[in-house]
Amino acid sequence: MVSTGAFGQQRQARRSAAATGLPHRHVPLARVADAASVEAARAVAREAAVAWWHANVKACEADPLAPPPLPTETTLAALSPEVIRTAQDFGRDVAHLPIPEAIAALGYLYAQALPQAHRAEYGVYYTPPPLVGRLLDKAERAGHDWRTGRVIDPSCGGGAFLVEAATRMLAAMNGVEPSIAIAALTSRLRGWDVDPFAAWLANLAVEAVALPLATASGRRLGTVAERRDALRTFEDGAGSFDLVIGNPPFGKVKDSPLLRARFARSLHGHPNLYGLFTDLAVHLAKPDGGIVAYLTPASFLAGHYFKALRRLLREHAPPVTLDLVESRKDVFADVLQEVALSTFRRGRRTDQAECAIVRVEPAGLRVEPTGTLILPRDPEAPWTVPRSVDDVAFVERMRRMPARLADWGYRVSTGPLVWNRHKPRLHHTPGKGRIPVVWAEAVTQDGRFVLRATKKNHAAWFEPTGPQDPNIVTRPCVLVQRTTAKEQHRRLIAAEMPADLLVRYGCVTVENHLNMIVPSTVRPPVPIPALAAFLATATADRVLRCINASVAVSASELEAMPLPATADLLTALAAPDPEAAVARLYGVSG
């Protein structure tokens, strides 16, 4: 008998292994496939995966065992003998790695070999093993029982999460008869993916985990992963899983009446793939304690588009834990958004979740607890998350702030000019009836307004159709850049649009990469210069960072910023050191 305790030893041995990319001498494999087609990418990845499989069978000292057959609908391109040899060498090379790292390398090879347009359309990003392990550790702490629970990854890709789940399930069945363990794994672990080749790779990976038991029992693992468009067909699995895991695809998806009907409860505006898969996960999890453990962009924490999703989670599956991943560019190539590792539990009756910052380092993960997320009373409001240990007290003070921009007498709108819709009306020289264009470059990093149009496609003048043209701006306001990144020195880049600009020209137009904070009354309680001065402080920037989790600075996030009472703000701005005085309002001293 082969003891399933060996799987626990494998799991412990690879704790410190770093995420695996393509070895340098195999990088041309991805280039060969990318220059051709999806079929070429699959052919390259299959040659590597089959070589890896046979190396694993040999290492188990098992009789020769064929890999699972490819789905009949999978087509492969013809490869040259040289590419085939290189791919097979790659598979044999990664066979020396623990299975999770090997599968990460095979999945990374496949993902990088796919044409870029295909990757973007289907949101294909494979997950490094350390993050998979961290997320499933969090699922355990949330209450999942690997010995008895049913698990599904509804967007399983090449099987990174299924491999980790299978390893833990078999470790939990230590001492169980191999044939019984194989049967339990087959019945309690599921994966779905719209890509038939990815589903095949996932089945290959999970069966490799179970090879010692299959050899001992003479029984092969049944099909775990299947081709399925989970967003179209999930009703047979609704409410039946103890744990829903995965890294769902990122990106926008084509809207349809079917999606609207099935996911209306979580949709506001254009649907996003990972938002739909989060709603799907709530559907699939058991109503009485089912857990969702997902790696997603962090943008659901704030922003207008995700307000319905936040309401859904608040009402049906409140968060248990939430990690923010630092150095996202070192973890996921081409991913611009901040990444979150989140666990949710259906039927939970609490408004608090434990938060942490996770840093991916060569030696493994470094986890820094950052306190508690307390969900706001408004179920659609942004979730304010501490970004460091130093933010814990700061966020607590933010929660007690009594005002919002509306209380100061302002509303936020987007600059009206979408320049590429009005190219014939843009000009590089002044002329009769033409008005200045205010581009995002007019707002400088240090909070000054400099009217200029120096970048490519930036014309200085716009020709309105008349006094009622919707692109015309006639009122003073504060301008805020709509797109910034967390790596920048400031996220909140704002400046007052000078009143004399409007006096001189009568009106201007503002391009839509700027937000406009516009007075909602004739005399707002906080004057425009005071608002601009506040937004220029380091404290205001810190407030925004705690409620923003994407590269976009949205109007809804600006309107949701927790602010001090008007009188307190004006007193602070009149102090000898207004920066320090504003900081003290938020409990920051020194």
Distance CA 292, CA 321 (A): 11
β-bridge pairing 426-427 and 243-246: unpaired
pLDDT value at position 483?
Answer: 86
Note whether 317 and 292 are within 8 A (CB): yes
514 lies in some domain? yes
Note whether 38 and 110 are within 8 A (CB): no
Distance CA 112, CA 48 (A): 14
Q: Where are the beta strands (DSSP E) in 504-574?
A: 509-510, 514-519
pLDDT value at position 258?
Answer: 86
571 lies in some domain? yes
- Residue in the block written with tokens 């209306």: 264
pLDDT tens per residue across all 590 residues of the chain: 333 343 333 333 333 333 344 444 454 555 554 446 899 999 999 999 999 999 999 888 767 888 989 988 888 999 889 989 999 999 999 999 999 999 989 988 888 888 888 877 777 777 889 999 999 999 999 999 999 999 999 999 999 999 999 999 999 999 899 999 999 999 999 999 999 999 999 999 999 999 999 888 889 999 999 999 999 999 999 999 999 999 999 877 888 888 888 999 999 888 889 999 999 999 999 999 999 999 999 999 988 889 999 999 999 999 999 999 986 444 554 444 689 999 999 999 999 999 999 988 888 899 999 989 999 999 999 999 888 888 888 998 998 999 999 999 999 999 999 999 999 999 999 999 999 999 999 999 999 999 999 999 899 999 999 999 999 999 999 999 998 876 678 999 999 999 999 999 999 999 999 999 999 999 999 999 999 999 999 999 999 999 887 788 989 899 999 999 999 999 999 999 999 999 999 998 85
416 lies in some domain? yes
- Exposed e or buried b per residue across 170-187, where buried means at least 16 C-beta atoms within 10 angstroms of its C-beta: bbbbeebebeebbbbbbe
462 lies in some domain? yes
If DSSP states are collapsed to H, E and C, what string results for 296-333?
Answer: EEHHHHCCHHHHHHHHHHHHHCCEEEEEEEECHHHCCC
Distance CA 61, CA 340 (A): 41
Burial class (CB in 10 A: 0-12, 13-18, 19+), 521: exposed
Distance CA 269, CA 248 (A): 19
378 lies in some domain? no
Six token digits for residue 64 = 């020769």
pLDDT value at position 190?
Answer: 98
Six token digits for residue 524 = 């707002």
Nearest in space to 547 (alpha carbons), one of 348, 375, 325, 345: 375
Note whether 368 and 356 are within 8 A (CB): yes
Distance CA 160, CA 21 (A): 14
Neighbours of 425 (CB within 10 A): 18
| Cβ within 8 Å of residue 580, ≥6 positions away | none
197 lies in some domain? no
Distance CA 226, CA 566 (A): 59
Count of the separate structural domains present in the chain: 1
Cα separations in angstroms, 216 against 136, 198, 207: 28, 28, 13
Residue 44 carries which DSSP code? H
The alpha carbon of 235 is separated from its chain's Cα centroid by a whole number of angstroms, namely 26
The alpha carbon of 118 is separated from its chain's Cα centroid by a whole number of angstroms, namely 19
The alpha carbon of 468 is separated from its chain's Cα centroid by a whole number of angstroms, namely 41
pLDDT value at position 19?
Answer: 39
Angle at 41 between CA 127 and CA 160, to 5 degrees: 20
Q: What is the DSSP string of 242-268?
A: SEEEE-PPPSB----HHHHHHHGGG--
Task: Describe the crossing of helices 38-59 and 196-209 by its angle, rounded to 10 degrees.
Answer: 10
Note whether 352 and 530 are within 8 A (CB): no
pLDDT value at position 27?
Answer: 47
pLDDT value at position 327?
Answer: 60
pLDDT value at position 16?
Answer: 34
**CATH code of the domain in which 523 resides:** 3.90.220.10
468 lies in some domain? yes
Distance CA 104, CA 18 (A): 11
Note whether 464 and 433 are within 8 A (CB): yes
The size of the chain, in residues, is 590
477 lies in some domain? yes
Neighbours of 530 (CB within 10 A): 20
- Residue in the block written with tokens 């995700």: 306
Residue 241 carries which DSSP code? B
CA atoms within 13 A on the CB side of 516: 24
Q: State the distance between the two ends of the chain, measured CA to CA, in whole angstroms.
A: 66
Determine the residue type at 585: L
φ, ψ at 384 (rounded to 5°): -90, 120
pLDDT value at position 335?
Answer: 46
- Residue in the block written with tokens 């690879």: 14
Rama region for 447: left / alpha / beta (φ>0; ψ in -120 to 50; rest): left
- Residue in the block written with tokens 């049913």: 150
Domain that holds residue 434: 405-585
